Amino acid sequence: RAHYRLAFAKALVDSASNLSFGPEVGVSAVKPDAPIVGPWLRGVRRMADDLDDLGSCDMTPTEVHLADSRHASEVLEPNSIDAVITSPPYPNEKDYTRTTRLESVLLGFIRNRADLQEVKRGLLRSNTRGVYKGDDDDQWVEAFPEILRIAHAIEDRRKELGKTSGFERLYARVTMLYFGGMARHLTELRRALKPGARLAYVVGDQASYLRIMIRTGELLASIAESVGYEVTGIDLFRTRLATATRQQLREEVVVLRWPG
């Protein structure tokens, strides 16, 4: 039953609505008419086929937790994890609760502004729209001079350019909240890891804040090291073109080992 609902929400957002999706979600002209049943049934069929493909794995135990990665040990058993493979947020000023807003409402995850804010507060800070007054993840990076340097460089650049909007004034802060949140996550996660556990984090370099370069992978590796992980390597996954700076930005896999 769940995949009927999911496919219906997807068909409404994708083929029926007037939303358009790019780096951000946009609103285009209202469609006078749109196909619903065809795209919906194709979505259902695709999910059913995917489930068939996974048939040989149906004895593999699986658990899904809806939780804040900065409080990982609240839902994960101590000493229970062998490997972590993940693509966490990047400090990129992108608000995914906007990209997924319509289906979040359609599927009943969000009913009003208060629900939306509750979701946003439970996310690691990666954009200024997610920053709230009482946020204090930044205290976790006070001992990292390179992150303080970047935050100061962003703030200095903002003043130099005479930028004064509410968002621009949060650029330095959200940078610290991001790395502070990741530091909290890595610290919390340690209890759940088995000695010798391996971890892989895909992250991209960013220059979203007044074009001050943030070497996300490199910085994440140094934070991980400082809380006891071994950095096995930082592998280049791909490069991507930053449209504003015409620069190639590195996207990397930070590979870690928890010695126990």
Which residues contribute to the site for DNA (CB under 7 A)?
20-27, 87-90, 92-96, 98, 113, 116-117, 120, 126, 128-129, 131-133, 163, 165-168, 202, 204, 206-211, 240-245, 249
Residue 203's DSSP bridge partners are 252
Q: How far is the CB of 217 from DNA (least distance, A)?
A: 12
Tokens 């991001």 correspond to what residue?
178
Report the residue number, 16 or 202, with the smaller CB distance to DNA: 202
Q: How far is the CB of 134 from DNA (least distance, A)?
A: 9
Report the residue number, 42 or 98, with the smaller CB distance to DNA: 98
Are residues 25 and 101 in contact, defined by beta-carbon separation less than 8 angstroms?
A: yes
CA distances, 109 to each of 60, 75, 97, 114, 156 (Å): 28, 20, 11, 12, 40
Rounded distance, CA 147 to CA 179, Å? 8
Q: How far is the CB of 167 from DNA (least distance, A)?
A: 4
Q: How far is the CB of 166 from DNA (least distance, A)?
A: 2
Q: How far is the CB of 241 from DNA (least distance, A)?
A: 6
Report the residue number, 153 or 194, with the smaller CB distance to DNA: 153
Report the residue number, 43 or 89, with the smaller CB distance to DNA: 89
Q: How far is the CB of 218 from DNA (least distance, A)?
A: 16
Report the residue number, 79 or 87, with the smaller CB distance to DNA: 87
String of DSSP letters for 32-56: S----HHHHHHHHHHHHHHHHHTGG
Are residues 26 and 98 in contact, defined by beta-carbon separation less than 8 angstroms?
A: no
String of DSSP letters for 189-218: HGGGEEEEEEEEEEEE-B-TTTT--B-HHH
Report the residue number, 22 or 32, with the smaller CB distance to DNA: 22
